[in-house]
A and B are shown apart, each in its own frame.
Chain A
Amino acid sequence: MNWFKYSSPQSFFPLAGRIALGFGALALLTCVAGLYIGFFRAPTDAQQGEAYRIIFIHVPAAWMSMFLYLVMAFWAGWGLAFNTRLSSMMASAIAPTGAMFTFVALWTGSLWGKPTWGTWWVWDARLTSELILLFLYFGFMALQAAIDDARRADKAGAVLALVGVVNVPIIYFSVKWWNTLHQGASISLTKSPTMAATMLTGMAVMAFGFWFYSIAAVLMRARCIMLERERASDWATRYARGST
């Protein structure tokens, strides 16, 4: 199998469509299973009562927000280094989904913080660095949107994305490096190991669900970007005229 075949938008386009459909269906199933475990299998938390159930979206969303940034920066950097247009398209396709998950992490964190910490927001290291991540995503998208020439937009965005990578380990280790209101490990929520097991399972299943969702959403957006950018090419027009 020739892998380089799929480095051109024309041949990646149909493959991306099939992958997106498959992972979209998988995401739906996985999220339903994760929610079932989270709401009906995982027991009430000894200290936080039912408020802790926010964890099943908060932690997976926070993981995705950081992971997607790394993948985005990787593709942006790859496109910058090797001048491959599909890599840059992938980076642009990831940004809005990453920003969405960053917002979800902040939003659910805020709704979790109010009943447990007594405040919607606090300028501690974890929360502040996650907010900076949201601004980095916004900055990347705004910068790309502000430059008319797609290839130049890719390059400028890539530099911003790569510089912003420094923020990801800061988010991840912030709870260790600084004295934060945000807790450290989420696994230590409960006392008995059996309780932790179902909670952890629910969280892990939801994380996979969000992961599959991200693959589907990003590839759907990548396909849109391919159609928009390749509008002068034969294959895009043929595809559009064939799919009426």
Chain B
Amino acid sequence: MNWGNWNEFFAMGGYAFFVWGSYLVTLVLMTAEIALLALRKRGALERLRAHGARAPGPR
């Protein structure tokens, strides 16, 4: 085990800004991408429901 306690873990041997700055930004970008894709899909579905092809139901 590398860390005696959580404070040591968060301090990252004095490199906290660099290490957590890297991990945090990466996490935010990846989560944001998935969230934006979910929103994009919802928007596409709403537009299709509002004015998609032909009438609903079986032909």
A140: CB under 8 A from chain B? no
A44→B41 contact, CB < 8 A = no
Asked if A220 meets B1 with Cβ closer than 8 Å, knowing A112-B18, A227-B45, the reply is: no
- The SS class assigned to the A binding surface is helix
Contact of A107 among B1, B22, B30 (CB under 8 A): B22
Q: In the complex, are the beta carbons of B41 and A227 less than 8 A apart?
A: yes
B4 contacts partner chain A, Cβ-Cβ < 8 Å: no
Q: Which of A42, A51, A232 has the most chain B CB atoms inside 10 A of its CB?
A: A51
Interface membership of chain A positions 80-96, coded 1 if the CB is closer than 8 angstroms to chain B and 0 otherwise = 00000000000000001
Give, as a whole number of angstroms, the nearest-CB distance from A110 to chain B: 9
- Known contacts A39-B2, A54-B18, A103-B29: A232-B34 contact under CB 8 Å: no
Q: Is A149's beta carbon under 8 Å from chain B?
A: no
* A111 engages B53 (CB within 8 Å): no
Q: Give chain A residues whose Cβ lies under 8 Å from the Cβ of B49.
A: 237, 240-241, 244
A residues touching B (Cβ–Cβ < 8 Å)?
A: 24, 39-40, 42-44, 49-51, 53-54, 57-58, 61, 96-97, 100, 103-104, 107-108, 111-112, 114-115, 213, 216-217, 220-221, 223-224, 227-228, 231-234, 236-241, 243-244
